[in-house]
Structure 1
């Protein structure tokens, strides 16, 4: 069992990283926390904490609990740690998106006088490389679990009581008793009625990552982040892509102005994008999947080599037998408070299963909070803003308030925008279609939201998230010296636009006096 370091001075310079963010406690407190917090647990338990699910939220919770001196068991339904994100989600998709970006970049270089031959896609080698990336990460997690003396069990975990689990695998089942539990069981793809065709040519996002073939014509059902990311991959690899979305716009959570450069690019590349359109039926034919549509612009029927159903995800709350532990659920989600505690005091939940946004980076922070509360520390998940990123080409990212959400809530905001057409770095990369937008509270001047579209937007949005958390104002950002020429300086320049001090654009002053 990993032990925390004994007493250390309570100051930032010598703060033990194994201690929680909210306070510093000694190892005796951590090791005795389980006994203090729970009344009525069995006389003997297999562990202080059992964590159900080894995705980003689950393994973070387990590792943090072990670091705080708690005997921890981590249960994962996959054969390797990492959950959906590392095994069949975030990581393999980003690996393929990287490859797609390189293919696109090579194609675009012809405009700068550098012409490559058309790439040959060796699917087996590409698939092996993608799997190798996953193996490195999941293998690393196994090593870290071992070093922390976290016991890992493989199988499906379901509650049999408030302090007991049944774990089922191919060899049979076993029971585990616990003092505390953290549910990090994640979510799964939604398959709407009529789209659950029993044909391998109809894929969910997991199937699509297997790269069995590059279809000549691919239909993506769902214009959200997952569907559009996979569309980006298959388009780069050579498929003719059609996207169909039930809403009147793709990626509906993002502001329209931020989406405009992305949508302009994909409309020029994809075969079709149908919004406000419903898929009314699918039929397996020898030559492909025959799909019926209902929408003003879509054809009545069309034939595709493969269909990707990316219509969202649903929580796995219904798969853990929550009722046996006395837990309540709301549409498959398990409600929690800001300490990640469920309605049962010794059971916690983190990640997708607690409700939207269903994001790995949200889950990791929640996992730490749950472990720290169990260890007897003062902690809470009180994020002011959680970034969202579509790793498409170009990337689309936003955090905090959007203009749309501000309007819906009746919140006044002031907007400043810096177009990447005025960015030396963007022009040097031939990717000047991007833009950086900041939203400010007109009363306090603080940043309350931001959005970026362009290459690397997912990395850049972190600066805006930090600004929101720290209560930064436009001068705070604009007066922070950013390196030049970089894309990061577009955030500072957007702040200068708000202040009226920008010199990289000509912006007429609102009082009618011309200013640079």
Structure 2
């Protein structure tokens, strides 16, 4: 392949990169996107999508396995799972989405180049593919190379030590699994394996699981883990793995496999970012309101720019950068970005937390008072609204409960649109749905909740 030129070059075809490429193509920009892996990045290929497939399969299995224990009068034979078949189904979904992303980029006119990219200078990137190297010269470049799992030196990935990627590729269930790290990735996968019958132990160095979330939101998750038979060790530090045991400073834990989920690091090494001498925030690329780095014409989006490491944040940044490069008057000015933890029950946070902004109050509505939650046998959790006393403006919404992730868009929209308690309280919510809990939380804040 001969050397190439373009208006916009994007390094990384994950959620941020491919959305940037699609939008740039729609705007008529000559765009090239480079990635050594299939389009979709970590999220589509080995992260968000595969993990949700496993979570769904585990929930279905657990629902059948425990049907006879519930009050519904349903009984079923003991289920079995062919994990290899489940993984093949998951891989089929990933393949379909890969093809979809490739088709959308092609439709928009963006060119995909397979290979590993490395900066030569602020305008030129070398791409290695099948042992051959080509150069791409671009007027503007976007770094969208994503992140990778953090590896512990005393628990290096390989063999029985699994990254989240490795865990999602297992075709045989281990008898026991130790999860090092009680954050959202570890708990999402640990819960799924527990529902499939694996003996799971979570080892968390902090004093509680999900330490970045407030205690009220995590309490129902901790209670559910206990009900599922998951052992949770907090304030515990993993030290080594040998002889089918994970050794910690609180004793040894039986573990056929060990899943390490202690965080993610920006994937900038090896692509020459350090040679550009970009200004950094710790390990992350520092950006301005247009996602431009300290070097003119070099942008960065997604996980390489720091927290929150969320696919939808990267997508929004990618879209904005494409429009900025095309000459549109846009900048990053998001009032709220939703974050979802797909544990059991699920957690959603959006906007300000209680006490985070001066002059605010919060109000909760428990799902045990919600008819839809009752009929689904999932009454745990609540919906909370954080509001400003002076004008009743809604600044934050959080929830914990079964499938509350599906309400995250409504939460974010309310904050982005500048809703007040009265706006949401006066909006008719369909009955019976869990979403009524949002209306009730606002009515409770106004002093006239109807169902509590």
- The answer to whether the superposition gives a TM-score over 0.5 is yes
CA distance in 2, matches of 1:220, 1:264: 18
Distance in 2 (CA, whole Å) between partners of 1:335 and 1:114 is 56
Residue 189 of structure 1: CA displacement? 0.3
SS at match of 1:212: coil
CA contact (8 A) 2:194 2:229 kept: yes
Q: Does 1:338 align with 2:289?
A: yes
Structure 2 Cα separation of the partners of residues 109 and 433 of structure 1: 19
Q: What is aligned with 2:248? A: 293
Match of 1:468 in 2: 415
Unaligned runs of 5+ in 2: none
Residue 105 in 1 paired to residue 63 in 2?
A: yes
Q: Is 1:264 aligned to 2:264, yes or no?
A: no
- Between the aligned partners of 2:129 and 2:281, the Cα distance in structure 1 is 28
**1:326 CA displacement:** 4.3
**In the alignment, which of 402, 408, 428 is matched to residue 481 of structure 1?**
428
> Which structure has the larger Rg?
1
**What is aligned with 1:350?**
301
Q: What's 1:385 paired with?
A: 336
Structure 2 match to 1:241: 200
1:398-409 to 2 correspondences below 5 Å: 398-403=349-354, 406-407=355-356
Bigger mean CA offset, 147-156 vs 55-64? 147-156
Q: 1:382-438 CA distances to partner (integer Å, 9 max, x unpaired)?
A: 1111111111111111111123xx35xx63421111111111100000001121111
Distance 1:434 1:104 in 2: 20
Give 1:256 deviation, angstroms.
Answer: 0.9
Q: How many residues align?
A: 448
1:66-77 aligned at under 5 Å gives the runs 66-77=25-36
Q: CA deviation at 1:45?
A: 6.4
Give the TM-score normalised by structure 2: 0.96
Unaligned runs of 5+ in 1: 1-43, 506-516
Kindly report which structure 2 residues correspond to 1:284-323, keeping only aligned pairs within 5 A, or say none: 285=243, 288=244, 290-294=245-249, 298=250, 300-323=251-274
Using the size of structure 1 for normalisation, the TM-score is: 0.84
Distance in 2 of aligned mates of 1:66 and 1:262: 43
Determine helix, strand or coil for the equivalent of 1:93. helix
2:392 paired with 1:445: yes
Task: Provide Cα deviations, 1:139-198, integer angstroms capped at 9, x if missing partner.
Answer: 11111122222111112111011111011233322211111101100000001221116x
Match in the other structure for 1:60:
19
Q: Provide, for residues 100-137 of structure 1, a one-character-per-residue CA deviation record: whole Å limited to 9, x for no partner.
A: 22223334533111112221111221111000010110
Aligned mate of 1:177, from 126, 137, 140: 137
Deviations 1:341-366 (CA, angstroms, capped at 9, x unpaired): 11111111100001100000100000
Contact 1:242 1:270 in 2 (8 A): no
Q: 1:428 to 1:184 in 2, by over 3 A?
A: same
Measured after TM superposition, the shift of residue 51 of structure 1 is: 0.4
Check conservation: 2:183, 2:210, Cα contact below 8 A: yes
Aligned-residue offset at 1:212: 3.0
Equivalent residues of 1:317, 1:329 under 8 A apart: no
Q: Could you report, residue by residue, the CA deviation over 1:1-51 in whole angstroms, capped at 9, with x for unpaired residues?
A: xxxxxxxxxxxxxxxxxxxxxxxxxxxxxxxxxxxxxxxxxxx96100010
